[in-house]
Amino acid sequence: MKRIIETEKAPQAIGPYSQATEINGTLYISGQIAIDPATGQMIDGDVKAQADLVLRNIGAILDAAGYTYEDVVKSTVLLTTMDHFAEMNEVYNRYYAVNRPARAAFAALGLPRGALVEIETVAVKNP
């Protein structure tokens, strides 16, 4: 059965989509950008600051659905330029230092609200 996940501890969707959807023990988290959930506004800051907030927001969604970072099996990272890859990677490593998920990273021509980084995530519950 499909379950829609919503939490006030992460940014509300800015379009016709859910923060996350769970089905058959798999959680699909929509791409997250560095929006402060308290204000609904993009934060000022470099790619490190943005990546940190994005990953904290992902953590809040994981928690709301009953998952943890340990359950993450796949991430897709979008960056406005691959010049930001090393800085994003530094932050990403703090959240996934062990049991690292599979990952893809791409440069995108533009991201919503002028974001420098966007990350979507897939997590799976082990039975």
Q: Render pLDDT for 64-120 as a digit per residue (tens, 0 to 9).
A: 999 999 999 999 999 999 999 999 999 999 999 988 999 999 999 999 999 999 999
Q: What is the mean pLDDT of the chain?
A: 96
Would you state the pLDDT for residue 37? Answer: 97
Options 3.30.1330.40, 3.30.465.10, 3.40.50.1370, 3.40.50.880; which CATH number does 3-124 get? 3.30.1330.40
Task: Write down the pTM of the prediction.
Answer: 0.96
Q: What is the pLDDT of residue 14?
A: 85
Task: Provide the pLDDT for residue 102.
Answer: 98
pLDDT at 126: 76
Strand spans (E) along the chain? 3-5, 20-23, 26-32, 72-79, 102-107, 117-124
